[in-house]
């Protein structure tokens, strides 16, 4: 939907600018390291795939509190969503489309998978930390 409705448009603003829907493509440049695109994509996608596989194994073998498991599953789902987007899209870029903030204080542009990753990380940390402090 972001590609169909937002690409090439000025975007949409809601709630007085609190929420903005804009089209952005994320090449994963923070891991670019000055490498050629093909090497960067292979390295980035490969490392992410290995990390996601490790997380899936961890979630299946480790006995976690229910909400920590839910947090881990959300992180895994978001990571898989971003990986699929990166591998399937021409140019190997993840489509981002949402931004929130007030005035000049704004988040970066993100997508639903990123929300899953962040919410999952918060749940996972909260419930694993809580379990350790309850002992």
Domain count of the fold of the chain: 1
- The helix (H) or strand (E) run that includes residue 9 is none
Average pLDDT of the chain, as a whole number = 86
pLDDT tens digits, 104-120: 899 989 999 999 999 99
Q: What is the pLDDT of residues 35-65, one digit of tens each?
A: 677 777 787 788 889 999 999 999 999 988 8
Percent of the chain scoring above 90 in pLDDT: 51
Band (pLDDT 50/70/90 cuts) for residue 127 is confident
Using only the alpha carbons of the chain, give its radius of gyration. Answer: 17
Domain that holds residue 118: 2-133
Cβ contact 121:72 at 8 Å: no
pTM exceeding 0.95: no
β-bridge partners, 94: 26
**pLDDT band, very low/low/confident/very high, at 135 (cuts 50, 70, 90):** very low
- Angle separating helix axes 66-88 and 112-133, nearest 10 degrees: 150
């Amino acid at each position: 939907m972001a590609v169909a409705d937002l690409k090439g448009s000025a975007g949409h603003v809601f709630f007085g600018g609190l929420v903005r829907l804009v089209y952005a493509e994320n090449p994963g440049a923070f891991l670019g390291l000055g490498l050629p695109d093909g090497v960067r994509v292979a390295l980035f996608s490969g490392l992410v795939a290995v990390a996601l596989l490790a997380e899936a194994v961890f979630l299946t073998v480790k006995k976690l509190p229910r909400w920590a498991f839910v947090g881990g599953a959300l992180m895994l789902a978001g990571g898989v969503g971003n990986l699929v987007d990166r591998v399937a899209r021409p140019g190997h870029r993840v489509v981002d489309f949402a931004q929130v903030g007030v005035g000049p204080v704004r988040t970066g542009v993100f997508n639903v998978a990123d929300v899953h990753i962040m919410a999952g990380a918060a749940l996972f940390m909260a419930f694993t930390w809580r379990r350790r402090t309850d002992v």
